[in-house]
Amino acid sequence: MKTKDLAFALLGVIVAAVCVRLGVWQLERLGERRQLNDRLRSRAEMPPVDVTALPADTGIAHYRRVRIAGTYDFDREIVLTNRSRQGSPGVNIITPLRIPGRDTAILVNRGWVYAPDGMTADLTRWREPAQVSGDAFVENYGTGKGVVRAPARPQAWRWLDRDALSQAFPYPLAPYFVVLIAEGPETPPNVPPRLSVPPLDEGPHTSYAIQWFSFATISIIGMILFLRRK
């Protein structure tokens, strides 16, 4: 075998090995994703606990079912913009909840309402009783790129950034927020449609693994065909 052919064969083997390793890495990530989903699913299915009993570790609290009780601060509620539901544009209403005997407030996602521009809605139409007692699940704050809210619309937030929110409220905020769960099949007229626990999918890891294994196969087959032709 000529030196050039040998080098080509070696290159094909190296490329195939790298692709196989990347495919195995994606399968490892899929296993980790499944383990995480199992933990989150078990938390969502556990009986609710009082929200004040949650640990400070937001990773442990994520998706935990909780029971909340307190008073809404409607004067300082905000909206989470560009939230679609069944193909329609809208916003999620985020209202601070003051718990008796505690300085720290908890932001509550009360649900989704229609907004033609995906940013503005008449929040006074969705005023529930100020005293609330119900079930929710815990969500973690997120991050994003760009401006978290437009100066012209101080109530409209693109995502819930805890650092920015802490500067916008006059009282401390909990290290997580909660999403109210519907308590019955019918929703009263002034209550926003509640959100459900997001589906726990496995992500794109399986398709990525298949792609890398395919690239490895193509590399080996291409090398063999080239050498046979030579």
Q: What percent of the chain has pLDDT over 70?
A: 88
* Tokens coding 178: 């909660």
Which ranges in 153-204 belong to alpha helices (H)? 162-168
What global pTM score does this model have?
0.74
113 forms beta bridges with 91
**Ranges of the chain whose pLDDT falls below 70:** 1, 5, 35-45, 58, 183-188, 198-201, 230
Cβ contacts of residue 79 below 8 Å, gap of 6+? 91, 92, 93, 94, 115, 119, 120, 121, 123, 155, 156, 157
* Tokens coding 162: 């805890």
